[in-house]
Structure 1
Amino acid sequence: MIEMTTSVWATGQQPSRIQRRGRYLPASMKHPAKMLPAIAAQVIATYTRPGDLVIDPMCGIGTTLVEAVHQDRHAAGVELEARWADLAVANLAHARRAGAAGFGRVVTGDARRIAQLLPDLHGKAGLVLTSPPYGLATHGHVRSTRDTGQPGVRKWNHHYTDRADRANLAYRRLPGLLDGFSRILAGSIRMLRPGGVVAVTARPYRNRGELIDLPGQIITLGRRAGLEFADRIVCLLCGLGDGTLLNRASFFQLHEARRGWTHGRPIHAIAHEDLLVFRKPPDGRPPARHPGTVPGHPALHRSAPETATSADGPADFA
């Protein structure tokens, strides 16, 4: 059984760049949508034990994997874009040089085919931890007129590598994103041992002013996939000061909120992510499939050949 944990986690006490300093390679900051290391670390500490296997089907630069190996867990990840997969491997190697005891592996490929990409790990994972993309709603790095003295706003590191790749869920509208994520969930369930945990971080986002309840949609997808919904935890992105909240909101979050108030809409900058915790049924019964999804459909396009790489670790975590 999964026991209920504290409902609010103070995971934003330090900014992302401070959490990563020295623990990740500097190039990691170029990814447009990174999981906060403190969130990954607390999820892993809460729901796994040393020696367990942790899998991230959309691992990006490898935040989940790095935090797992630092806690003496083993880790495997799938990443669509070779650029980020290579960086995840480099971050794992960096962690090993820093004394991390766990081993890690990264496969370049489409996470909707995770069961085919990691065939030797079926039924072995104690935890699947991941976060879906937020479409084009990535902020990247920003410099405003106040910072540069030049007119206008300059953005960089706010796109994934190939905007033409339709396999990249970051460039799909909400129905396509949800369909793709349901396939990823279905494949990930096959990687879990009975009673294993799926943890997903997500937050609502705005599309043309409309608030999209992505966490609520993911809860529905998880239940349809046959997972048992176990917990919902608030992971703070802001810091907790002495009787105050320390703002960590991005330039565009604040800009959107101010613009909303100007037009009479009480919009607030989001200061947390929802951690949605599911459990695979412990009796081993096969999970129900989401209607209309075909996990591992052979027609899915991939932007690069699937290749397996690792960071100084064995191929088998059993």
Structure 2
Amino acid sequence: MAYAIEAHGLHKSFQTHEAVCGVDLAIRQGELFALLGPNGAGKTTTIHMLTTLLLPDRGSAHICGYDVVHDAAAVRRHISVTGQFAALDESLTGMQNLMLFAELHGYNRKEARMLAEKLLESFNLVNAGGKTVGNYSGGMRRRLDLAAGVLSQPKVMFLDEPTTGLDPQSRRELWDVVRRLVNNGTTVLLTTQYLEEADQLADRIGFIAAGKIIAVGTPEQLKESIGGKMLTIRLKEGSDPADICRLIESEYGLEAHMDDNGSIVKLVAGEAILAHKVIGTLLDQSAMIEDFTLSEPILDDVYFALTANNGKESGS
């Protein structure tokens, strides 16, 4: 099996805080791998080590076979990194930006123009090529930034929350661009705060929490790991979700969780008959239920279950 990205036992600490503690990764060539986790879980630190921006304290990592510490220059020749903010000159046009990047990569002016024209067409920016980037929409900027990122024909792209702040239509347009990159053989490591995005794009997903990889699998495998259907109970204003969670656990031995604002309680109910029993018991106890649904789990449910369980194991 050929891996574009490999990491073994990566560790990184900042003073007394261990941000990454033993990350292992094996990402295949041509795969889109999404790395998900809460803020502070270690996603950005891991990416910074893989892209040679930070030296690991311990462990090793290789990109396209090159060691990120001892062969850092070779690693940089094979990768492209696109962050949350477009690295573009807003006073230049889209065409001028791409030509500038091309010339920095060693193309002469004629070659740079030909490449820029090709990229503008590939990223659906032909009509915007003559406009200054300062007048671009957020979605157009992100597409131009990706176009600049693929200009060097990288084998591996790191996309760090590329659609943050974009409207739904712009996000979907960017998804199409990312899909084309993967279809053309580029390996992509994606971080995102949108679980739907990972579900739509990723071949496999890794969840990271407290600096450790806690689960890896395809979206389908991760959803199946929940173990049954999800019962979602929406509560009326004034209800006590903590009491409802305790009642469900005492009566059925099921662990229920409430959302941040306390208006929704969720639990794995398995089959419909058990879900109906739970609802019947709550109604018998005069629980203030607005409505409820029974559905197949989604990545949000996986994310919540994994991060909640990890918090308990770590004592937080």
Same fold, judged at TM 0.5 (above): no
* Structure number with higher helix proportion: 2
TM-score relative to the length of structure 1: 0.28
* Structure number with higher strand proportion: 2
Higher relative contact order (CA 8 A, sep 6+): 1
The structure number with the bigger radius of gyration is 2
